[in-house]
Amino acid sequence: MGSKEVKIVDANIGIQEQFHLPVMPKEVVKYLDLPHNAVVVDATVGLGGHSEHILHEYPSILKLIGMDVDQAAISLAEGRLCRNGEKVEMVNRNFIHIKNTVNSMGISCVDGIVADLGISSFQLERSGKGFSFTRNEPLDMRMEAGLQFSAYDLVNGMKRDELEYILKNYGEEKFSYKISDSIVKIRAKKCIQTSVELASIISSSIPRKFHPKKIHPATKTFQALRISVNNELDNLETFITQAVEILKQGARLVIISFHSLEDRIVKKMFRKLESSCVCPPDLAVCACSKTQQITMVTKSVLRPEKEEVEENPRARSSKMRVAEGA
């Protein structure tokens, strides 16, 4: 968590909220490179940190559309950005619906899109949904209403090998077998109901000498469960596909990820969408009729500056990739 905080009071919900600085804001503003009278989408608006920087640096913006699955975050972002008037419009929807959302406003193409894939401090500390292993909350982890399965359902209902698969593939957890085996044995006696209870089981399943030095032993398992509950990796692919379809030629798509699974998907999708042919290499003449949809602006991943990481430690694992409409 960052050492510097900003405070906001939301009159609608009557609380004072503290939230940390957005990650890589200077880079977001720079690489969006918005034209005059731009229409831009903050596809994961959260508490409005990136949007605030964008609106400040590009005062000629015609419209900023903020999307988020979390209604509480939307309410706080509205309070933060309300001074910008009608040029800001908030939508409580998952970013997989970005194309339909923009088109429903009578807009066919946009001048820029940004997505910050990290879970916010607000969600960790104030959601009450069990995202944090340091807070004794019910195991839920659903980021939006209407999702069928919660973390409680997965932890208490999945077979051991299914749990192991999730922890290994979505959390890259080396002790996935030991953790899933412990979970199954303990839930046979009583259901595992809270985040602190689950974190304790995970910590006890990993030999003390193998506990990570910089993160909690439960970090990777909680990440894996959250990704599975919210279908985050498939949703990311859907989002990128739709986002590219509404980018104007030369308009930028900026994506910030926080773990290797997300970054690999962004990298893979950008390469796929940049390619103008997907035919087998031994085919003499192209038969796929594919056209290039983007050009990668950043050929390699961008990382935050040392000064930012010192001021905001949350930024240390962030990675940015940028593409523009072809």
Classify residue 128 as left (phi > 0), alpha (psi -120 to 50) or beta: left
In which band, very low, low, confident or very high, does the pLDDT at 13 lie, cut at 50, 70 and 90?
very low
- The predicted pLDDT at position 185 comes to 98
Summarize pLDDT for 210-239 with one digit per residue, the tens. 999 888 999 999 999 999 999 999 999 999
Rounded to whole angstroms, the Cα distance separating 15 from 8 reads 9
In which band, very low, low, confident or very high, does the pLDDT at 320 lie, cut at 50, 70 and 90?
very high
pLDDT at 310 exceeding the cut of 80: yes
pLDDT at 16 exceeding the cut of 70: no
Rounded to whole angstroms, the Cα distance separating 287 from 296 reads 24
In which band, very low, low, confident or very high, does the pLDDT at 3 lie, cut at 50, 70 and 90?
very low
**Of 164 and 311, more confident:** 164
Six token digits for residue 224: 């894996």
Q: In degrees rounded to 5, what are phi and psi of residue 323?
A: -135, 160
